[in-house]
């Protein structure tokens, strides 16, 4: 009985640690997410998408003066504007968009 409880606790700890680690993205992972989202918005496919992703990922965020989080904010803001969201609907959309991985 004690062994089963210990195993259950260890498994729950591992799952919790996995979620905590997944929530923290590196700057490169955030940049990949933003570039991928932009490529999707432009409906790029095949070689055109590969070229866009390559170029997007090569860009130095510091040279552009924007951090990955700022790039994400810009993308989410553009999406909200495109959907013509205002007030509480815009706030809710922005919150969800910025939390996405």
Count helices and strands (H / E) in the chain: 6, 0
pLDDT tens track for 25-83: 677 788 888 888 888 888 888 888 888 888 888 765 454 567 778 888 888 988 898 89
CA 39, CA 33: separation in Å to the nearest integer?
A: 10
Instruction: Report whether pLDDT(13) > 50.
Output: yes
Mean pLDDT over residues 91-100, rounded? 90
Q: What is the pTM of this model?
A: 0.40
């Amino acid at each position: 009985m004690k062994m089963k409880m210990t195993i259950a606790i260890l498994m729950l700890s591992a799952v919790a640690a996995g979620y905590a680690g997944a929530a923290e993205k590196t700057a490169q992972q955030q940049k990949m997410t933003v570039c991928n989202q932009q490529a999707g918005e432009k409906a790029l496919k095949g070689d055109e998408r590969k070229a866009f992703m390559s170029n997007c990922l090569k860009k130095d965020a510091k040279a552009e003066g924007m951090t990955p989080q700022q790039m994400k904010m810009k993308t989410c803001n553009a999406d909200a504007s495109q959907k013509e969201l205002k007030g509480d609907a815009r706030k809710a959309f922005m919150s969800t968009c910025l939390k996405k991985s």
